[in-house]
Structure 1
Amino acid sequence: MPLRRFAFGRTEDAVHPDTIRAALSEFVATAIFVFAAEGSVLSLDKLYKDTSSATGLVVVAIAHALAFFVAVAIAINISGGHVNPAVTFGALLGGRISLIRALFYWVAQLLGAVVASLLLRITTRGMRPPGFSLASGVTEWHAVLLEIVLTFGLVYTVYATAIDPKRGHMGTIAPLAIGFIVGANILAGGPFDGAVMNPARAFGPALVGWRWRHHWVYWVGPFVGAGLAGLVYEYLVIPEETPHAHQPLAPEDY
């Protein structure tokens, strides 16, 4: 099977209105997601002073699932609804987005996460975002492997429901399916390392709360997992396409 086309993108794409609109969409969607997701953790901490209980885990997982569902839904028709630098990386390796547009997405996603975390700190009168940390007995490399597995599942779901040209009516429930896998993965991996799957989700609270311990885990794991999912689905699952059948995540990417 021939490789899909890896697109660097044209220089003029950097100032094209479609690129700017897509980046703005990613910024807003990521800010909405991080504000609700990190806010749910701060709310639990304020109410119960303990977010490590089983009930707390379920509440946080539901909050993340709902927030990510909404974030993807409001951005999917404009930018493809990545809301996650790792998802963008998986799409980039699969040739579904140009490198120039990916760079814009990454900047927008990180800025959205930082702005959301700043707004949380202001609106909660100085509460410091807790960010993420490893549980007792969990080493950094265990956490990296866990993030690889969790993010693989997330990006594979994104490919199956939102990118695959043969997705059909499945595309209409893509945001819901993607939100569900985020929530389920948090239930599975949250007690061990927080189940981040999203470098922007980790970066915003880490910067505003200034908590950098083990932070590299939440970049390496998600990017490796997303890259593997993108390559596996793109080259092993999606059948060989004719040029007219090839459908990128967003039509204007090329």
Structure 2
Amino acid sequence: MWRATLTELVATACLLFTLTTSIISCLESTTAEPKFLIPFAIFVIAFFFLLTTVPLSGGYMSPVFTFIAALEGVITPVRALFYVSAQCVGSIVAYLVIKSVIDKNAEEKYSLGGCMIDGNGEGISPTNAFILEFSCTFIVLFVGVTVAFDKRRCQEIGLQMVCGILAGAMALAFFVSISVTGRAGYAGVGLNPARCLGPLLLKGGRLWYGHWVFWVGPFVACIVYYGFTLTLPTGTSTS
């Protein structure tokens, strides 16, 4: 278990470093509509990281996926606790590296790439952010996890397709969140509380506002999704 836990730590750190720097690069590009580039970047990065880590540790790299895996009985609660701890440490490591290399103007402009719902009154309310966080997380679980936790279907379509479905669901959810709001102060759904934790601890400031949304929303979505899977027809349940 300690090897898998270490893998989760390293994988989460590398994923968040790559993902955050890529998103900031997209936003800083001269492209008129960077919001179309970001989902594509998320898809590519998530796909390759999932493809690499799924055979090693399960490729969770997020407390959300770890929590739903524990609910579904895919991993034990003890293993889940170790994984979540490793993912949070990995996030801190990733953003320590980013903070040491990022341009200071970009750091201030994007709050170190953290999860933000209000930029000096320009963002959205915590209630609306919670609704988006819950809805988008549920979409990812319904589209991606339903397939990923179905062993028979995974064998039928193969690891590459499963990783592609998961990565595509995450990219789609993020695109939806930034498309329907159109607010400069809103950074989009977190989908990964560990991603929100690192910048919060290192940068703080306005990132504290509504931070609970990025934890409560996904975990409530996991609980609702788990209840939903219990109603699925025999043979299609993820349990």
The TM-score normalised by the length of structure 1 is 0.78
Tell me what 1:213 maps to. 209
Residue of structure 2 in register with 1:182 after alignment: 170
1:61 corresponds to which letter in structure 2?
P
Partner of 2:124: 138
AA of the residue aligned to 1:237: L
2:198 to 181, 204, 207: 204
Aligned CA distance change for structure 1 residues 45 and 164 (closer, same or farther; 3 Å):
closer
Asked if structure 1 preserves the Cα contact closer than 8 Å seen for 2:146 and 2:238, the reply is no
Q: Point out 4+ residue stretches in structure 1 off by more than 3 angstroms.
A: 44-48
1:240 and 1:161 map into 2 onto residues whose CA distance is: 12
Q: 2-side partners of 1:137 and 1:202: how far apart?
A: 16
Query: Cα deviations across residues 168-195 of structure 1 (Å, max 9, x unaligned)?
Result: 3234211111111111111100253412
Structure 2 gap segments, 5+ residues each: none
Name the structure 2 match of 1:226: 222
TM-score (norm 2): 0.82
Separation of aligned partners in 2, 1:163 and 1:74? 17
Aligned counterpart, 2:134: 148
Specify which structure has the higher proportion of helix. Answer: 2
Taking a change above 3 Å as real, the CA distance of residues 205 and 60 of structure 1, as seen in their structure-2 partners, is: farther
Instruction: Indicate which of 93, 112, 136 corresponds to 2:90.
Output: 112
Alignment of 1:1-254 (within 5 A): 19-44=1-26, 46-47=28-29, 55-126=33-104, 127-128=106-107, 129-134=112-117, 136=122, 138-167=124-153, 168-172=155-159, 173-191=161-179, 192=181, 193=186, 194-210=188-204, 211-233=207-229, 235-237=230-232, 239=234
| Partner-residue secondary structure (3-state), 2:113 | coil
CA distance in 2, matches of 1:206, 1:26: 20
| AA matched with 1:180 | G
Q: AA paired with 1:89?
A: F
CA contact (8 A) 1:31 1:113 kept: yes
The question of whether the paired residues in 1 share the 8 Å contact of 2:144 and 2:169 is answered with: no
Percent identity over the alignment is: 29
CA distance in 2, matches of 1:75, 1:176: 14
Task: Tell me how far 1:20 sits from its aligned partner.
Answer: 0.8
Alpha carbon RMSD of aligned pairs, Å? 2.5
